[in-house]
Homo-oligomer: A and B are copies of this chain.
Amino acid sequence: MKPIKISEAVVRRLPIYLRFLNELSLSNIQTVSSQELGEKLDLNPAQIRKDLAYFGEFGRKGVGYNVDYLIEKIRQILKLDKTMNVALVGTGNLGRALCNYNMYIKDNMKIVAVFDADTSKKGTLINRLTVQPMQELSDSVKRLDISVGIITVPAAEAQNVADQFVAAGIRGILNFAPVVLKATPGVRIHNADFTAELLSLAYYMDNINGSKEGDETQ
């Protein structure tokens, strides 16, 4: 009832928790404290407790969190119980790799349709999916109940693809192209921007042990 706004930072940490909890569960560990989670995930224990407390009282004082129960709860929060259908546009190296991946995405999402603007690729098979031309995108999205779009086209074409996704009624986009995309407010865009990660990595690398010498910029 109380409409407490949950910050993005919090939501972004949930998958990190979930992953590690899954590891623990596989090792048959039944209980974990915020202290232990914090150590393993490089986070402050208080932050972890606070994050989880936004969604309910999942722990037991003096004991900690039940691993499997917490997994179940986080999966509910992230809506990983229901599967979502995904369309991917752009069958370059990265796009094809993602199609073949699929195991990772399987957690709750499944690529069910693949598109490419290059009509010469029409009909090509990628991991049992037939590459379709862009003209079929809107129809397929509706017919296959696709709610998420993945963009793996060159930067220059990404906004155009995003527009087509939005027009087709998609509600979430995972964008691998190195551009800032615009969409209507109802559509959520997440960026998987490893080129930016690589560029900013260089910034931190010249200083051997954290201190800089002779750098005019600082």
Contact = CB atoms under 8 A, between A and B. Distances in A.
Main secondary structure of the interface of A (DSSP, over half): mixed
Contacts of A63: none
A192 B197 contact: yes
Contacts of A206: 79
A198 B210 contact: no
A51 to B, nearest CB: 13
Given A6-B218, A79-B205, A186-B208, A19 B178 contact: yes
Contact of A199 (B15, B186, B208): B15
A2 B72 CA distance: 50
A167 interface: no
13 contacts: A11-B203, A14-B203, A15-B196, A15-B199, A18-B199, A19-B179, A76-B217, A78-B199, A84-B205, A93-B100, A94-B97, A104-B195, A176-B194
Nearest to A41: B180
Contacts of A147: 205
A50 interface: no
B194 A78 contact: no
Interface of A: 2-4, 6, 11-12, 14-16, 18-20, 40-42, 54-56, 76-80, 84, 93-94, 96-98, 100-101, 104-105, 107-109, 147-148, 155, 171-172, 174, 176, 178-180, 182, 185-186, 188, 190-206, 208-210, 217-218
